[in-house]
């Protein structure tokens, strides 16, 4: 049996329809669609469509992949339909007509077909691991087992939307400083390569001793204009070598330890990881996922090898009968307030609520720190940019003034 992309005409309404359907052959597909009141006009096997897509050069193909925001919106809609009493298969089929991204339409169609065959929803999701992360799959499995799928889907939607909001705030806050840095770099580069060589060429013809700053400017300008290929090649090789080293287990651990110790930014990275840890663990536990399984899933979403090692050690300690808070406190990476609130939550039986409080507190702290940092970065970038332009102007104008005085 193969998956076909089909196009046809709805006999009842006369509208053009398209979608995906499993069938043994185009002839069998035509019969299946005829029973649904659809006249088949075109059927393309999925493997042929993929082969054609691979031959096509799509520079912006990544824009068509389902993003976490797309999955969050889809999850919210699915939770609403299931909560309203619509059967799961019908809910997913209803979403097929609402989703705009073709890649997500294919996933939903495959999910609906698998569910019709009697496969568990979590098992269907696991077949599309690139779209649905382990956290999503495990929460759905827990929801199916406990009969609270609609509640779990709503929690998943809340979780993914909160993560998307935090990510969006960070990106929007850093967008202006990054743009200013790129503009400043481009402006200074244009001055050094296009303007400075033409102006400073007259200094060389006069054979006069130049101030050190003018000589430095001429040297840098000459290097950029003449050996730009070597500079870019060295930079590219350095980035490639760093990425190769960073992808090794030892390199990743060393780099992630360094990232956590960088002044200002290290603290910010730690806050982001702790907020993600608290919100993810709270969501998993509230959905009925077992503690050790939840901790193992949380370990994979931290994005820092050093903190992953801390959680891994904590899992081993919990298996031996320790509390959650104690191994986290011993690591020295989790702030005292976090470990204290986790300990209180364990004793009172309100661990999920305490973790939610931690995540809300730290997300608010992150937003405040990022806003403060960007408000300081903006004038700093302007000062640095103005200083570089002033240095270039001083290095050109002052020698001209000195030469003019000598002539007079």
Contact partners, residue 185, CB within 8 Å, separation at least 6 = none
Q: Are 153 and 78 contacting, i.e. CB atoms less than 8 angstroms apart? A: yes
Task: Using the predicted structure, report yes or no on whether residue 321 has a pLDDT greater than 80.
Answer: yes
Domain range summary for the chain, segments of one domain joined by +? 2-56, 67-161, 170-408
* Per-residue pLDDT tens digits for 159-214: 888 778 777 777 777 787 788 888 878 887 787 777 777 776 766 666 667 778 77
Arithmetic mean of pLDDT, 271-292: 86
Arithmetic mean of pLDDT, 379-402: 80
Tokens of 181: 């840095």
Q: How confident is the model at residue 296 (pLDDT cuts 50, 70, 90)?
A: confident
* Euclidean distance between CA atoms 231 and 224, whole angstroms: 8
Question: In sequence order, what E strands does 11-58 have?
Answer: 16-23, 38-45
Q: How confident is the model at residue 244 (pLDDT cuts 50, 70, 90)?
A: very high
Task: Using the predicted structure, report yes or no on whether residue 51 has a pLDDT greater than 60.
Answer: no
Query: So what's the pLDDT on residue 9?
Result: 77
* Per-residue pLDDT tens digits for 54-70: 444 444 444 556 777 88
Query: So what's the pLDDT on residue 55?
Result: 43
Q: How confident is the model at residue 406 (pLDDT cuts 50, 70, 90)?
A: low
Contact partners, residue 30, CB within 8 Å, separation at least 6 = 40, 43
Task: Using the predicted structure, report yes or no on whether residue 27 has a pLDDT greater than 80.
Answer: no
Task: Using the predicted structure, report yes or no on whether residue 280 has a pLDDT greater than 60.
Answer: yes
Decide which of 215 and 291 is more confident. 291
CA 9 to chain centre: 39
Arithmetic mean of pLDDT, 116-141: 85
For the entire predicted model, the pTM comes to 0.66
Task: Using the predicted structure, report yes or no on whether residue 31 has a pLDDT greater than 70.
Answer: yes
The residues pairing with 18 across neighbouring beta strands, listed in sequence order, are: 7
Task: Using the predicted structure, report yes or no on whether residue 349 has a pLDDT greater than 80.
Answer: yes
* Euclidean distance between CA atoms 175 and 169, whole angstroms: 10
CA 248 to chain centre: 21
Q: Which residue has the tokens 């269907």?
A: 124
Arithmetic mean of pLDDT, 220-242: 86
Arithmetic mean of pLDDT, 87-105: 83
DSSP notation for 267-299: HHHHHHHHHHHHHHHHHHHHTT--HHHHHHHHH
35-44, 76-85, 158-167: which is most confident: 76-85
- The answer as to CATH 1.10.1060.10 being correct for domain 67-161 is no
Contact partners, residue 382, CB within 8 Å, separation at least 6 = 180
Percent of the chain with pLDDT over 70: 90
User: Residue 9: in which H helix or E strand, if any?
Assistant: strand 2-10
* Euclidean distance between CA atoms 94 and 216, whole angstroms: 67
Query: For residue 299, which of 170, 135, 153 has the smallest C-alpha distance?
Result: 135
**Buried (b) or exposed (e) across 228-249, using 16+ Cβ within 10 A?**
eeeeeeeeeeeeeeeeeeeeee
Percent of the chain with pLDDT over 90: 7
Considering only 218-227, 239-248, 251-260, 287-296, which range has the smallest mean pLDDT?
218-227
Task: Using the predicted structure, report yes or no on whether residue 43 has a pLDDT greater than 60.
Answer: yes
Query: So what's the pLDDT on residue 288?
Result: 82
* Euclidean distance between CA atoms 131 and 109, whole angstroms: 14
């Amino acid at each position: 049996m193969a998956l076909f992309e089909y196009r046809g005409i709805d006999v009842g309404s006369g509208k053009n329809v398209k979608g995906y359907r499993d069938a043994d052959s185009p002839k069998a597909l035509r019969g299946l669609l005829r029973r649904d009141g659809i006249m088949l006009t075109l059927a393309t096997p999925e493997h042929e469509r993929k082969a054609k897509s691979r031959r096509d050069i799509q520079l912006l193909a990544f824009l068509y992949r389902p993003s976490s925001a797309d999955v969050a919106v889809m999850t919210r809609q699915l939770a609403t339909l299931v909560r309203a009493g619509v059967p799961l298969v019908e809910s997913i089929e209803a979403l097929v007509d609402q989703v705009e991204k073709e890649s997500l339409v294919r996933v939903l169609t495959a999910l609906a077909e698998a569910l019709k065959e009697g496969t568990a929803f979590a098992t269907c999701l696991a077949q599309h691991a690139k779209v649905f992360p382990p956290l999503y799959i495990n929460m759905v499995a827990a929801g199916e087992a406990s009969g609270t799928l609609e509640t779990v889907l709503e929690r998943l939607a809340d979780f993914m939307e909160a993560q998307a909001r935090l990510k969006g705030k960070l990106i929007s806050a850093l967008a202006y400083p990054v743009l200013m840095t790129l503009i400043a770099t481009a402006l200074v580069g244009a001055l050094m390569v296009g303007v400075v060589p033409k102006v400073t060429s007259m200094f060389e013809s006069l054979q006069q001793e130049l101030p050190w700053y003018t000589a430095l400017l001429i040297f840098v300008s000459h290097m950029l204009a003449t050996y730009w290929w070597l500079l870019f090649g060295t930079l590219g090789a350095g980035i490639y070598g760093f990425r190769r080293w960073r992808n090794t287990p030892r390199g990743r651990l060393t780099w992630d330890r360094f990232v956590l110790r960088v002044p200002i930014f290290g603290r910010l990275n730690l806050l982001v990881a702790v907020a993600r840890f608290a919100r993810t663990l709270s969501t998993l536990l509230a959905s009925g996922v077992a503690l050790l399984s939840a901790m193992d899933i949380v370990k994979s979403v931290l994005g820092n090898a050093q903190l992953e090692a801390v959680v891994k050690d904590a899992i081993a300690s919990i298996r031996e009968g320790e509390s959650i808070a104690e191994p986290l406190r011993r690591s020295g990476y989790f702030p005292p307030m976090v470990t204290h609130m986790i300990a209180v939550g364990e004793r009172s039986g309100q661990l999920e609520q305490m973790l939610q409080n931690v995540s809300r507190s730290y997300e608010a702290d992150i937003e405040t720190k990022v806003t403060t940092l960007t408000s300081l970065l903006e004038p700093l970038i302007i000062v640095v940019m103005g200083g570089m332009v002033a240095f270039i102007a001083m290095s050109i104008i002052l020698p001209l003034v000195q030469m003019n005085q000598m002539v007079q």
